[in-house]
A = this chain, B = another copy of it.
Amino acid sequence: MDEAEPRRLVELSPEECFELLATEEVGRLAFNDLIGPAVVPVNYIVDGRTVVFKTALGRWLDQSLSTSIVGADVRVAFQVDDFDVATRTGWSVLVRGGAHHLSPEEVADLKVESWAGGRESYIRLTPQEVGGRRVQA
């Protein structure tokens, strides 16, 4: 394998993106706090055409996703990937849209397993853009 050879970038369809999202357990959420952008890993599930994850109630991420307007969404990005360093191949999916907290009733049928525990504030991200790329030989 010629490691110096640039890989080919292939755009993924939204269908492929959702299929790939469903294969992973950890994604990365990008959001803004008062200083600027930040990224944190979160466990998540795909629920229909949305992404659901949990945060620790009242802490950094949870607060950053709160607005003073009930029901208002906060703009976020959610990214999942899987790369193989040996072959320099892999894929990445990016979902952008609005996130909002879920009510206890909305949470009833959802089960997000958080590795770290202690995350009881449920957030739903409703995609407005979904895209991705595969890097292949």
List A residues at the B interface (Cβ < 8 Å). 6-7, 9, 25-26, 28, 30-32, 35-41, 75-79, 81, 83, 85, 88-90, 92, 94, 96, 114-118, 135
Contact = CB atoms under 8 A, between A and B. Distances in A.
* Chain multiplicity (copies): 2
A30 B41 contact: no
Contacts of A96: 35-38
14 contacts: A6-B118, A7-B115, A7-B116, A7-B117, A28-B81, A30-B37, A30-B39, A30-B77, A35-B75, A37-B37, A37-B96, A39-B79, A41-B83, A116-B135
Contacts of A7: 115-117
Contact of A30 (B6, B30, B75): B30
Contact of A41 (B38, B76, B92): B92
Contacts of A115: 6-7, 88-89, 135
